[in-house]
A and B are shown apart, each in its own frame.
Chain A
Amino acid sequence: MADTVNNAVEPRLDRRGFLKGCTMAAAALGLSEAMIPKMVEAAASAERPRVIWLHFQECTGCTESLLRSSHPDLARLLLDIISLDYHETVMAAAGHQAEQNLHETVDKHPFLLVVEGAIPTKDNGIYCKIAGKTAMDILKTVAPKATAIIAIGTCATFGGVQAAAPNPTGAVGVQDLVSGKPIVNIPGCPPNPVSFLGTVLHYLTFKKLPALDKLNRPLFAYGRRIHDHCERRAHFDEGRFVENFGDQGHKLGYCLYKVGCKGPETFSNCPAVRFNDVDVWPVSVGHGCVGCTEPNFWDTMTPFYERLPNVKIPATGIIDSADRVGKTVLGVTAAAVGIHAVVGIGKRLIKGKSEE
């Protein structure tokens, strides 16, 4: 529901909202109802974990989607259960005061580190500087002291749009620079705030990070392909497809596979959890998935409205679909075979049949 009375401005979180938020996170995590009181207890405990939130090469979209969710309880719950000591977008402190807060937490307290945005590494990382220090340096100072690291968004996990070819700034994700620390990747452009909240609450309740897949994404949120939970899946199996945006099939809600939906190769809980508490996600409103939770999605998932990336043949400037390149090569092969046969026949006509 739209926030018509501007509840978001009200700083206090009521009990109802608090329980709703915890229940939502428990549902996303796939926990039983019996676990909710335990989670509530953990979230309500007086000792709030300190969190440092670093922004590097990014658009702040991940923070925005978290703070501006139509359901303000989610953001307020999060801000209520953690002590957000440093967050460039929402902190009240500025300048030296902000820097002091950062260093005090880093030096004196255990903390969780959240990173939003990619880290440029080319030319010693000069393409992203905060307070005169490069993103690389900041991460190098802060990361080793964190108890655990949550990389939020595709930029912090896999480099995102900055790392798309030709990657001019040498941008990489956190896991490429930091080792020896537990890292949770929550990719997406932006990721669902519930996936982030679920990870934090799991950590608070069980004192450990949730189970991860091989790309360090929490399985509760990234364990299934979008295609396998999609509400349009039956249309796929039955062969009912949208041929063009706006056609009859599109109006009837058919499968978006032929207009380039990347649901079959993308892992996320979008079809189950959906966004903004109004039960929508891209496919439900008629646009295919673009695969934003996958590594290098800007390179491998584009063109967004085709099934497969184009073939680029180096040094020729040829960029074409795999099938057109394949047909050409097959045609050339057939022509070569024909020429070979003609040469053989010609040679025999000239030289006469060899004796066997």
Chain B
Amino acid sequence: MATYTKHHCWSLLLRLFHWMFALSIVFLVVTGFYINDPWTNTMIEGSAAWPMANMRYIHYLAAYVFSAAVAIRLFLYIFGNAQERILDILPVTGRNINNLFMTLMQYSYISDKHDERLGHNILAGLAYLFTFIAAIVMIISGFYMLFPEAPFWEGWGLALFGSQQFARYLHHILMWWFMIFAVIHIYLCVWNDVKEPEGLISSIFTGVKFKHKA
């Protein structure tokens, strides 16, 4: 019978970030699909249903939550606790490179060995970092489309995307990354929870993980 000790892993701010990010993405994807291809048609004139106006309104509200979440994550990458800082997930130290290798071996069923560490494994950390960068592109392209005449967004939007239409195109394609990411993310969290009973899933609610007693 293995014995475990309780470790505080995720700060309240990180958990807040996670759920703001996850829930806003759900709303953004659903309303985003509607905005791109409105599947309803208001047949009765004068019904004042305003489905497109409402969907866009929800999309913008969710977008502000999403932007705030990304700002929180940026803060935590720099000022967070040991597990939350960016250096913890970059394959720049021997220990981290080894963890990346071992995670790949374990995920491909080649090895059963699990590199025990408190925070993200490096593969997950890199996937989150990529998603974080994709989120920043979504924010810039989104605000460029929302405020095309504001000099700040016009300047950044034109420099990065060249035109409104290309920003829209990129915004749409990157949305698929968030859906693909969600599928893999949820699957691997469950998978890890099955493989290693360290309380991975509950840790994003409680902030606490369990580790083998040394």
* Residues 338-356 of A at the B interface (beta carbon under 8 Å): 340-341, 343-344, 347, 354, 356
* Residues 161-195 of B at the A interface (beta carbon under 8 Å): 162-166, 168-169, 172-173, 175-176, 179-180, 183-184, 187, 191
- Beta-carbon contacts of A311-331 to B below 8 Å, as 1s and 0s? 100000000001101100110
Q: Which residues of B contact A329 (CB under 8 A)?
A: 176, 180
* Residues 13-38 of B at the A interface (beta carbon under 8 Å): 36-38
Q: Are A300 and B169 in contact (CB under 8 A)?
A: yes
CA distance A347 to B154 in the complex (A): 55
Shortest distance in angstroms between B110's beta carbon and chain A's nearest beta carbon? 11
B139 within 8 A of A: no
Assuming A224-B149, A300-B169, A322-B169, is B180 touching A330 (CB within 8 A)?
A: yes
Query: From DSSP, what is the main secondary structure of chain B's interface residues?
Result: helix
Which residue of B is nearest A262, CB measured? B165
Q: Are B183 and A237 in contact (CB under 8 A)?
A: no
Q: Are B164 and A240 in contact (CB under 8 A)?
A: no
Q: Which residues of B contact A243 (CB under 8 A)?
A: 41
Choice from B47, B53, B162, B180 contacting A296 with Cβ under 8 Å: B162
Residues of B within 8 A of A (CB): 2, 36-38, 40-43, 45, 47-53, 107, 109, 112, 145, 148-149, 151, 154-155, 158, 162-166, 168-169, 172-173, 175-176, 179-180, 183-184, 187, 191, 197
Which residue of A is nearest B53, CB measured? A237
CA distance A312 to B40 in the complex (A): 29
Which residue of A is nearest B158, CB measured? A214
Choice from A239, A249, A301, A323 contacting B52 with Cβ under 8 Å: A239
Q: Are B149 and A223 in contact (CB under 8 A)?
A: yes
CA distance A73 to B37 in the complex (A): 44
Shortest distance in angstroms between A267's beta carbon and chain B's nearest beta carbon? 8
A258 within 8 A of B: yes
Choice from B36, B183, B191 contacting A330 with Cβ under 8 Å: B183
Assuming A214-B158, A237-B52, A326-B173, is B184 touching A333 (CB within 8 A)?
A: yes
Q: Which residues of B contact A262 (CB under 8 A)?
A: 165
Write 12 A-B pairs (CB below 8 A) sorted by A numbering: A214-B154, A238-B51, A239-B40, A239-B51, A265-B165, A267-B164, A308-B168, A322-B176, A325-B176, A330-B180, A333-B184, A334-B183
A236 within 8 A of B: yes
Choice from A239, A300, A340 contacting B166 with Cβ under 8 Å: A300
Q: Which residues of B contact A300 (CB under 8 A)?
A: 163, 165-166, 169
Which residue of B is nearest A237, CB measured? B53
Assuming A265-B164, A294-B163, A356-B197, is B50 touching A237 (CB within 8 A)?
A: yes
Q: Which residues of A contact B109 (CB under 8 A)?
A: 343-344, 347
Starting from the known contacts A240-B42, A295-B163, A330-B179, 19 additional A-B residue pairs (CB-CB under 8 Å) come to A213-B154, A224-B149, A225-B148, A236-B52, A237-B50, A238-B51, A239-B38, A241-B38, A241-B41, A264-B164, A266-B164, A294-B163, A300-B163, A309-B169, A326-B176, A330-B180, A337-B183, A340-B187, A343-B109
- Beta-carbon contacts of A236-254 to B below 8 Å, as 1s and 0s? 1111110100000100000
Shortest distance in angstroms between A298's beta carbon and chain B's nearest beta carbon? 11
Shortest distance in angstroms between A340's beta carbon and chain B's nearest beta carbon? 8
Shortest distance in angstroms between B158's beta carbon and chain A's nearest beta carbon? 5
Q: Which residues of B contact A223 (CB under 8 A)?
A: 149
Choice from B49, B107, B149, B187 contacting A239 with Cβ under 8 Å: B49
Which residue of A is nearest B45, CB measured? A240
Which residue of B is nearest A291, CB measured? B165
CA distance A213 to B149 in the complex (A): 9
Shortest distance in angstroms between B178's beta carbon and chain A's nearest beta carbon? 11
Q: Are A249 and B41 in contact (CB under 8 A)?
A: yes
Shortest distance in angstroms between A10's beta carbon and chain B's nearest beta carbon? 42
Q: Are B163 and A265 in contact (CB under 8 A)?
A: yes
Q: Are A239 and B50 in contact (CB under 8 A)?
A: yes
Q: Are B173 and A238 in contact (CB under 8 A)?
A: no
Q: Are B172 and A322 in contact (CB under 8 A)?
A: yes
CA distance A301 to B162 in the complex (A): 13
Q: Which residues of B contact A236 (CB under 8 A)?
A: 52
CA distance A337 to B109 in the complex (A): 13
Shortest distance in angstroms between B211's beta carbon and chain A's nearest beta carbon? 13
Q: Which residue among B43, B49, B53, B164 has the maximum number of chain A CB atoms within 10 Å of its CB? A: B164
Assuming A309-B169, A326-B176, A329-B176, is B38 touching A295 (CB within 8 A)?
A: no
